[in-house]
Amino acid sequence: MFRTKERRRAATGTLVGADTRIQGDIEFKGGLHIDGYVRGNVVSVDENGAVLSISEHGCVEGGVSASHVRLNGTVKGDVKATERIELGPRARVIGNVQYKLIEMAVGAEVNGKLIHESEHRPSAADEDASPAGPVKLVGE
């Protein structure tokens, strides 16, 4: 009757601990979990299946890009999820969010544009007239 949610489970190969501060860009493959602070861009070099998770204590000041993003902390920059983004109840984005599929919990904040990426790239005139795309609110 009800389908269980398909969750992307990638092994977390890299962890930025709560007491860790990084100044500079991070490139990763597989899974990356951030509990600490990163001042720089965080980008997956292998777009297929890369999972980035940022805990409620984690903060990134810079752009973020991965195929799957799980955010419950703060990103001060643009976020690009080529497949799916999950914004938890404590997620804060100060920048634009580009996504194919988005799940947004009650309490999450985005101070920027939600930009839906479809299979085909619309023209500039189409982008101004089209809605943001599918948004799923959970938790009510």
Residue-range domain boundaries for the chain: 12-132
Does 136 have pLDDT greater than 60? no
pTM for this model (two decimals): 0.78
The answer, yes or no, to whether residue 49 has pLDDT greater than 90, is no
The DSSP code sequence of 2-28 is PPPPP-----EEEEE-TT-EEES-EEE
Residue 108 has pLDDT above 50, yes or no: yes
Q: Are 25 and 65 in contact, with CB atoms under 8 Å apart?
A: no
pLDDT band of residue 4 (cuts 50, 70, 90) is very low
Q: What is the mean pLDDT of residues 37-46?
A: 94
pLDDT band of residue 109 (cuts 50, 70, 90) is very high
What's residue 48's pLDDT?
A: 79
Q: Taking 60 as the threshold, does the pLDDT of residue 120 lie above it?
A: no
Question: What whole-number distance in Å separates Cα of residue 33 and Cα of residue 72?
Answer: 11
Task: Specify burial of residue 24 (Cβ count, 10 A radius: 0-12, 13-18, 19+).
Answer: exposed
pLDDT band, residue 118 (cuts 50/70/90): confident
Indicate whether 14 pLDDT > 70: yes
Scored b (16 or more CB within 10 A) or e, 45-80 reads eeeebbbbbbbeebbbebbbbbbbbbbbbbbbbbbb
Which pLDDT band holds residue 12 (cuts at 50, 70, 90)?
A: confident
Q: What percent of the chain has pLDDT over 90?
A: 69
Using 50, 70 and 90 to split pLDDT, how confident is the model at 133?
low
Q: For 60-119, what is the HEC assignment?
A: EECCEEEEEEEECCEECCCEEEEEEEEECCCCEECCCEEEEEEEEECCCEECCCEEECCC
